[in-house]
Amino acid sequence: MYKNILVNALVNLGDVVLATSALDLIKKNFPDTKITMLVKSVVKDAVIDNPAVDDVIAFEYTARKNSLGKTYEIIKEIRRRKFDLAISFDRKLRPALITLAAGIPRRVCPTKIFENKKSRVPMLYTDVIEIDYDLSSRLQAETFQEIVRRFFKIEGHGLPQFPTKFSSNVDKLLKQIPQDKIKIALCVKGTFPLKTYPKEYFAEVVKALREKYNAAFFIIGAPNDKIYADEVIAEIGGDVFNFCGETSLPDLAEIFRRADLFITVDTGAMHIAATTGIKTVAFFSCIPVARYSPINENAVALSSHEPCCPCTVREKECPSYPKPNCLYNVKPAEVIAAAVKFLG
């Protein structure tokens, strides 16, 4: 049995969180196996002290900008650690070459993982796992796990995992909110425009819930989301805390554990929240709900299920631009109704 596994996951935050479900499955079947994740530096805090991950190698990964020197340093580091198995959860060329050059004897790659088109990258691996279904029809976490199930010939399911850490910073942030109020977290900006719910819709949701409940609202997000969050707050009419850029990734998980409800676009924070079990209302646009729904029994995923979705077009290429149907047809009334159902 393999004792020292390297997992390549040079992908975005949400997919890194979902990939830990496959590592959870490995740990359930082979508890003595050491698992190291190769991830982008920007998401390393999602896997440091993660219960499914024993060690982390952070790589300042930018597909076209990494110097040969940096790549060589990573190769030396991986070679030094003497891994006996590598599993690709990104199907990217650079990590494929890195694990080959590092001399890892067994290397596993799926035929597809994020897109249905073929690639020559699997030719650089010793074992290729056939993924023979439409990716949009199954949870992405299950695709990660299917790679593991088929290679190790095991059964069962794992769950996405996330570090649990006490945070004095979260104490400081939440002390700004009156303790007698229901705490409702918001994530208002996606990683690209066709994931970002209209500002006026967010305003309608917050105003309706504010009338019905003694609630306080705060927005979470990355530092570069702060200006946009201020614009949403202005649309709402103020009296919403802006915590964008003030939390680490483990801080986010701790905030979700202490909040009462999370209303969010489809983003990495949604998958972090899912690991905490917080009541969640999530809305999807051009991304298939069946693939990226939060894995949380306390979550509702809303979508208008447009016939043109999923799509990969840019915002201004959308046939219904400037008001894309996939965004504007998930009405505030649906979000409000789902929130009321959770809050009672």
- pLDDT value of residue 63: 59
> Is there a contact between 95 and 8 (Cβ–Cβ < 8 Å)?
yes
The predicted structure's pLDDT at residue 36:
98
Q: Where are the domains of the chain?
A: 4-152, 168-343
Beta-sheet strand order (sheet of 182-187): 241-242, 215-219, 182-187, 261-265, 280-283, 299-302
| pLDDT for position 70 | 82
Mean pLDDT to the nearest integer, 182-203: 95
Q: 257: pLDDT confidence band, cut at 50, 70 and 90? A: very high
The C-alpha atoms of residue 28 and residue 16 are separated, in whole angstroms, by 19
Q: Residue by residue, what is the 3-state secondary structure of the chain?
A: CCCEEEEEECCCHHHHHHHHHHHHHHHHHCCCCEEEEEEEHHHHHHCCCCCCCCEEEEECCCCCCCCHHHHHHHHHHHHHHCCCEEEECCCCHHHHHHHHHCCCCCEEEECCCCCCCCCCHHHHCCEEECCCCCHHHCCHHHHHHHHHHHHHCCCCCCCCCCCCCCCHHHHHHHCCCCCCCEEEEEECCCCCHHHCCCHHHHHHHHHHHHHHCCEEEEECCCHHHHHHHHHHHHHHCCCCEECCCCCCHHHHHHHHHHCCEEEEECCHHHHHHHCCCCCEEEECCCCCHHHHCCCCCCEEEECCCCCCCCCCCCHHHCCCCCCCHHHHCCCHHHHHHHHHHHHC
197-to-149, 171, 215, 229 alpha-carbon distances in Å:
36, 29, 21, 12
The verdict on pTM exceeding 0.85 is yes
Domain 4-152, CATH: 3.40.50.2000
Could you give the CA distance from residue 87 to residue 343 in angstroms, rounded to a whole number? 42
Structure-token pair, residue 195: 């994931």
Let me know if the fold of 4-152 is the same as that of 168-343: yes
- Predicted pLDDT of residue 315: 86
Which residues face 110 on adjacent strands? Answer: 129
Contact between 294 and 301 (Cβ < 8 Å): yes
Q: State the average pLDDT over residues 288-293.
A: 93
9-67 residue pLDDT tens: 999 999 999 999 999 999 999 999 999 999 999 999 999 999 999 999 999 866 566 66
Per-residue confidence band for 69, with pLDDT thresholds at 50, 70 and 90: confident
Q: How far apart are CA 296 and CA 310, in angstroms?
A: 22
State pLDDT tens for residues 78-108.
999 999 999 999 999 999 999 999 999 999 9
Extract the tokens encoding 175: 């002390």
- What pLDDT shows up at residue 309? 87
pLDDT digits (tens, 9 = 90+) for 296-334: 999 999 999 998 888 888 888 898 999 999 999 999 999
pLDDT in tens, 101-143: 999 999 999 999 998 888 999 999 999 999 999 998 899 999 9
Residue 64's pLDDT is: 62
Site of tokens 């020197």: 69
The class level of CATH for 168-343 reads: alpha beta
By the 8 A CB rule, do 88 and 95 touch?
A: yes
Give the up-direction half-sphere exposure of residue 231: CA atoms within 13 A in the CB hemisphere: 12
The answer on pLDDT for 214 being more than 80 is: yes
Q: Count Cα atoms within 13 angstroms, Cβ side, for 48.
A: 12
| Structure confidence by residue, pLDDT tens digits, 224-253 | 999 999 999 999 999 999 999 999 999 999
Say if residue 274's pLDDT is above 90.
yes
Please state, in angstroms and as integers, the Cα–Cα distance from residue 59 to each residue in 39, 42, 85, following that order: 6, 9, 19
322: preceding bond cis by omega (within 30 degrees):
yes
Between residues 259 and 319, the one the model is more confident about: 259
